[in-house]
Structure 1
Amino acid sequence: MASTAKSTDIRIVRSEALKPKPDPEHLGFGKYFTDHMLLVDYTEEKGWHDARIVPYGPFSLDPSAMVFHYGQTVFEGMKAFKTEDGRILLFRPDRNAARFNISCERLNIPAFDEAFFVESIRTLVEVEKAWVPDAEGSSLYIRPFVIATEAGLGVRPANRYLFSVILSPSGAYYSGGLAPVHIRVEDAYVRSVRGGTGFAKTAGNYAASLKAQVIAKQDHCDQVLWLDGIEQRYIEEVGSMNVFFKVGDEVITPELNGSILDGITRRSVIDLLRSWGIAVTERKISIEELAEAHKNGKLTEAFGTGTAAVISPVGRLSWKQEDMRIGDGTIGELSHRLYDAITGIQTGKVADTFGWNLQV
């Protein structure tokens, strides 16, 4: 796609049978999907072409489609929000576009024009604007993804791909309030190593995390805290989110090292903290250092960051025989301030001094 592509380059085929809207009080997450989806094809001869918005429905793929066998797929997660005055805002879509291409490069998938990535999503959301919920904490979740569709077996990059965007109205992530979660430190399985695909949003990373997640649930924990894949000492991510720790007057988050996702919310938290004059450091931090900080009473807050939850406060960390309780069982002051600031900007309730939002 040329960078000059505009919404007029997208063919729109409207559904003749619109779905009834789900109950806004019981949306959950990822259970309902809108009337339309975006599709764009890729071939070696034409590049990315035939952008179209069509009625939501199943794909027809050959059983030998290479995505099934060799895992060439990348996705993103984004949200659209409705403001009190009826505007619809996208939060930092340019960053999702850039990260999408970083993931594609690692999976050897052809790059997608970033300006058109944003414009195509903006157009689809505009078509489906009636689906953007306006209840407190709700949003329209946006899932762009690409899959290898070439039919045939043989371990090599495919020469045919399909880019798609689907939309799902989603309810408040915290239906019962911002309650801290209980995290199990995983010291047997690893999620990724430097040089692998940990920094990319690709399906295999998430498949590799499922076993440890099941074990955590069996131990009555909500999530997994991943350690590095070499020494299994240094903290990387919590579940499918980036993670932050408030130790004394400093906020620490693991540095990007090739196996950690460059989260959009992570970047936003760092920018906010620095704008508030709060010391934030991106560096290696070991589980032993964290345990020592807890023992000395310096670890006062911990939280995960991601598109779905925004801020997920951590109340307990279980590691070997240690049970580290953080705070007083409620969300910490800084975690709450960050949550209010980011969700406020996303929904237009707080001034967007960073220029993060794009109006649909």
Structure 2
Amino acid sequence: MSKFDEIRSFDDCEVNEAIKSIVRHPMMKALMNFTFPDVECNIWTDKLKETHSIRDFQKDFISHTIRKILETSSQGLTYSGFDRLDKNTAYLFVSNHRDIVLDTSLLNLILLENEHIMTSSAIGNNLVQQNFQYKLAKLNRNFLVERGLPLRDQLKSSKLMSEYIFHLLSADNRSVWIAQREGRTKDGNDSTQQGILKMLAMASEGYSLLEFFKKLKIVPLSISYEYDPTDVLKMPQLLAKHNDEIYVKAKDEDFTTMMSGVLGQKKRIHLHAGEVLEKEFESIFSEIHHKNKQLQAVAQLIDDSIIPNYKLWPSNYVAYDMLHNTDAFSGHYTEKEQQLFERRLEMRIDVSDPVLRQGFLAMYANPVINNLKYNLN
């Protein structure tokens, strides 16, 4: 037994038993038939039953699933910056967050194909309520974040998670992915929440904060999709925010969002790994002495990498020009690309509703607006 048993992913010695317990589940059959449409069931079933490690499960099965998703719902994945990372070093990827499933899956596909250490990553326990989802998540090296806890229990849970993340990085030499904020960004404004850094710092006992953040080897990660397959699903929450109302999720909303993210059209996708944040911490922790202000500065440092390195697509520039009634960025898209985006807008929302129209366009335009702030400084 270890103190991390309630949240950790499977150990390799538990993998085979877990796979055998779900190999005949209808959702596993659907997943494998999607991944290997021309392969007889007994072939992938037998191979699954012979799998004894998370790496083999991800390499032999899940990586093929992700490639199939890219083939059927995108125009390809590109990436940059990963060549600067050491293949044998564990990193903490702090990332903007667009899609529940794909953000980490695409990162791990890149890491696998380039022989880097793959990540363990956080997933809300609200997303793995069913036994199959729970086991599949742990087979993909997800660890659980408990949602909806009372404040006292939440602090205890956060401390456990911070210690587990630090254990993975320092003791297991395992890379970790976490989002820069709780939940996905709904409006395209990517900013690092100080609370995420406070959570990480809960495991800093025995180190100065400077030493601790250096040990994390933080890599800011910028993830951009040309089309957000869940854009229309984010509109009710944005509407509620606009109307100053409390948003309550519909039943099965998380599952619907996951499936839309996986199967919906994304067009082009790009991931950029920023430079490892290490030496930058020296000036922050020597010049700033208040802990909260130090964490604010670290959050800003992460944003200063994620935002300028975010790949801007024609959809972003078209949305900016439509939102501001200008042609300032017309050189960044063709007439056809503009027409395709306008058609998407008309098919996804009621364009006669000014609040919906503005919210949808801002979701795509905000990365341009945020990027402009860096180019102007």
Bin the TM-score by the shorter chain: under 0.3
Q: Which has the higher strand share?
A: 1
TM-score (structure 2 length as normaliser) = 0.24
More helix by share: 2
- Scaled by the length of structure 1, what TM-score is found? 0.24
